[in-house]
Chain A
Amino acid sequence: MDSHPEIEKLSAYYDKELLPGEAGQVRAHLESCQPCKETLLEWEKVQRVFLKSPEINPSAGFAFRVMEAIPPKQVFDLRDLVRWLVPTGALMLGAVVLISIVPLNAADTFVMENEILKGNAPFSVQENTVSQTDVSGDWMGLEAL
């Protein structure tokens, strides 16, 4: 490799992420290329000074505080979900059935009442209705006695 490798390739070489063949090519180039070698040395320097693993550890009781922040009942349990879903599903099904029946009956009653008010009640209804004549006249058939 005579020409300089692309910076991206040099960066992957630095991270040991190149395939063996490619890494070999870059290594061979570095043997004779001072600028590329310096680039790697500078990255290494920057990493050692500015990207050091911080020497800090969790304070005592950290895990305890995390667990305290999660209420016990919130622990995910599939069985809880099933226990909750079954009655809820049954209730919802019942509600759907009720909703689909009740409005039909209500609508029938409404239509019938409307027809009666207009005087167009169905025959069976008229037959059982007490007429004005019946009320004012001999509705008990007393005259015949």
Chain B
Amino acid sequence: MNDDRVLIERIVQGDRDAFAEVVRKYQGPVIRLCYSLLHNHQEAEDLAQEVFVKAFYALERFKGSSAFYTWLYRIASNHCLDYLRKKSRHPEQSWDELLEKRGSEIEKLLSKDPAAGQSREDQELVHQVLEHVSADFRIILVLRDIQGLTYEEIAQALSCSLDAVKGRLKRARQDFRDKLRHFLALRNV
């Protein structure tokens, strides 16, 4: 992380190549974060590009009180949430309709070997299920379970307290589990 501090100092002094280095270093995690929320590669790349441009102009305000990547994730999370709110995407069908039409596929997906990869159809189904999880819950689950951030890092990325992180994660997991309770219960029989 000291490397980041050196890079940031160089950027503030006007070194453009240093910022290109930052982009190359974090492009993967930022695009994957955006993709985990949007499930569209092109949109994820467009948003990630805007995130880096925003970060560039905001860099002089970066005080270094948190790690650079959590600060970058904060910009990315806020940007994606704003985008989702503006688009106000509503799932094409209600949760009950989805369960009725694709319940058996969800059940199959849950019974698959976790080590096996997901087909395009599987990924599309995962996306449809995730659309029914609120954006606030989705972002915290993505930061924790996909990006692997600690509670402390999530608190920095979402500008909230540790208690808020614990509470929100608990509610997000319970909400998700409740939605899939029927299938999970079947699996446990």
Contact = CB atoms under 8 A, between A and B. Distances in A.
Partners in one complex: yes
Interface in B95-134: 109-110, 112, 114, 117-118, 126, 129-130
B16 A51 contact: no
B66 interface: no
Interface in A36-73: 38-39, 41-43, 45-59, 62-63, 65-67, 69-70, 72
Given A7-B170, A42-B177, A67 B12 contact: no
Interface residues of B, number: 55
Given A8-B170, A58-B27, A62-B49, A15 B144 contact: yes
A49 B180 CA distance: 12
Give the interface SS of chain A, mostly helix, strand, loop or mixed: helix
Interface string B1-30: 000000000011111100110011001100
Given A42-B177, A70-B56, A76-B60, A62 B170 contact: no
Given A8-B166, A51-B146, A63-B27, A78 B12 contact: yes
A97 interface: no
A8, A56, A57, A58: most-surrounded residue (chain B CB, <10 A): A58
B135 interface: no
A67 B20 contact: yes
Contacts of B81: none
Interface in B22-67: 23-24, 27-28, 31-32, 35-36, 41, 44-45, 48-49, 52-53, 56-57, 59-60
A50 B174 contact: no
B167 A8 contact: yes
B84 interface: no
Interface string B156-180: 0000000000110110011011001
B151 A17 contact: yes
B85 interface: no
Interface residues of A, number: 42
B179 to A, nearest CB: 9
Contacts of B59: 76
B11 A76 contact: yes
Interface in A10-45: 11-12, 14-15, 17, 38-39, 41-43, 45
Q: Give the top 6 A-B pairs by smallest Cβ distance, nearest first.
A: A77-B14, A48-B114, A51-B145, A63-B23, A8-B170, A58-B27
Interface of A: 7-8, 11-12, 14-15, 17, 38-39, 41-43, 45-59, 62-63, 65-67, 69-70, 72, 74-80
14 contacts: A7-B170, A8-B166, A11-B169, A15-B144, A45-B110, A45-B184, A46-B173, A49-B126, A50-B126, A57-B31, A66-B23, A74-B57, A75-B11, A76-B60
